[in-house]
Amino acid sequence: MNVILLGPPGAGKGTQAQFITQRYGIPQISTGDMLRSAVKVGSDLGLKVKDIMASGGLVSDEIINNLIENKISNPEYKNRIIFDGFPRNLEQAKILDNLLKKYNQQMSLALNLKVDNQILVKRITGRVTCSACNKTFNTFFDPPKNCELKECGQRKLITRSDDNEETIVKRLKTYDEKTFPVLDYYLKKGIMKNIDGMQEINAISDQLFTIIAAVRS
Ligand code: AMP
């Protein structure tokens, strides 16, 4: 099945996508991760998107659509993608529909993680990722000592360059203006479900698993 994870920056899309991947073996496709990798290696794409990402704006639909078509067209991913961070505006949602049609696939669910703004700011400013196992922690809610003790033994934790208070305000504004209308698009298609994203991490996954299990059966 194909699933979209929707929700503002910091809602927990990446974290929950990893849980869904672990449980159901459906790969996560994160446009943000793909772009960050390009910036890290300094590719042409990376150079093109670096500044706009740092400012909290959206990179062009053309760039994103190429990245997405690359994945959707790959038989390995046929009808088995968790879309994380895409679509980010109505144009991308419509293009996704066209690509799914072109490659004979369907969207099963759009899951919307709902979280209040004050919590989002804490989740974003506290977010750190282990450079070795890619697990995400939060210095307020899930201190990274867990990783050092239990996960991969690494201590190199990195903070995303756009996870600062100044950029967050812009990212939340971009979400309200550009991404929020996408919810209505999937609501009208009858495949959107709201999830209470304010709960504890495992309680959120339980809600997601229940919905996914019902649709898969
Ligand atoms: P994320 O990791 O999803 O929060 O994305 C980080 C940044 O990458 C965003 O603030 C945007 O600048 C860019 N980005 C990620 N996905 C998209 C997308 N679907 N459309 C446009 N820009 C995106």
pLDDT tens digits, one per residue of 84-132: 999 999 999 999 999 999 999 999 999 999 999 989 998 899 888 887 7
Question: Is residue 152 within 8 Å of 172, Cβ to Cβ?
Answer: no
Ligand 1 geometric centre to CA of 59 (Å): 7
pLDDT digits (tens, 9 = 90+) for 2-41: 999 999 999 999 999 999 999 999 999 999 999 999 999 9
Residue 47 token pair:
């150079």
7 CB under 6 A from ligand 1?
A: no
pLDDT digits (tens, 9 = 90+) for 178-191: 999 999 999 999 99
Q: Which residues are marked as active site?
A: 13, 88, 127, 160, 171
Q: Name the maximum alpha-carbon separation found in the chain.
A: 47
List, in order, residues 6 or more apart from 86 with CB less than 8 Å away. Answer: 4, 29, 31, 64, 68, 92, 96
